[in-house]
Amino acid sequence: MPGAWTIIAIVAIALGAIGFEVSISVAANDPLAEVRATFDETGPVFSNTNIRSSEQQQRLRAIAEHHFDFAYMARFAMGTHWKSLTPVQRKEFVPLFTDHVVSTYMTRLEQGTVEAASHALKDKVGYDGADRATVYSVVKLPMLADPLAVNYLLRKDEGRWKLYDIVVDNISTLANFRDEFNKIMNNGGYARLVSDLRGEHASAIHQ
């Protein structure tokens, strides 16, 4: 879903459970700090006009891989089809999915959009259990009449919070990926999906 990735530097599931909200102080690797760090690291990459697009994409991918749980995201995006993949295909798909997210969405952002999203973060986090959290924001963009409710979903794995979904006005980016991939898998299978993802990535890096 392009609308979601226009809000943040980038890519499981939008949980329907209602968590509770608490005010928090920003500590190292708490959910809010993790989202803020993503913006803080991404901003300078977009503002640097002296680097080539290929180098920009490499830097954005490094940031994304540090802050997003792409392995978890890839599994969810494949849905029930994940079970049918061989270990080799699963290992292949995760970096392909990462390329798809970075090349298709991250490289199309603008510095002003990233700054607007960063300033929109609220100092509140909603927790659902010990390993799920939602960071809330309301983003106002000049091209839109109404503000967008943009929520960043994170999961804790091995003591580290990482992003796995962005929900814009109750629409999950990751669920959108799942719908898209499910249609391709049902119509053309894994080979078709891999071909499409590689083609999109090749096209993006040559733009």
pLDDT value of position 13: 24
Q: What sign does the CA torsion over 33, 126, 131, 24 have?
A: positive
40, amino acid identity: D
As a whole number of angstroms, the distance between CA 107 and CA 46 comes to 9
Instruction: Categorize the per-residue pLDDT at 15 as very low, low, confident or very high, splitting at 50, 70 and 90.
Output: very low
pLDDT tens digits along 77-103: 999 999 999 999 999 999 999 988 887
Domains of the chain are 2-12+25-205 (3.10.450.710)
pLDDT value of position 61: 85
E strand segments, the chain: 20-23, 121-127, 132-139, 148-157, 160-168, 171-172
Residue corresponding to tokens 């928090």: 24
Global pTM?
0.80
Instruction: Categorize the per-residue pLDDT at 38 as very low, low, confident or very high, splitting at 50, 70 and 90.
Output: confident
Neighbouring C-beta atoms of residue 2, cutoff 10 Å: 10
* pLDDT above 70: percentage of residues in the chain: 77
pLDDT tens digits along 140-150: 877 778 888 88
pLDDT value of position 73: 95
Mean residue pLDDT across the chain: 79
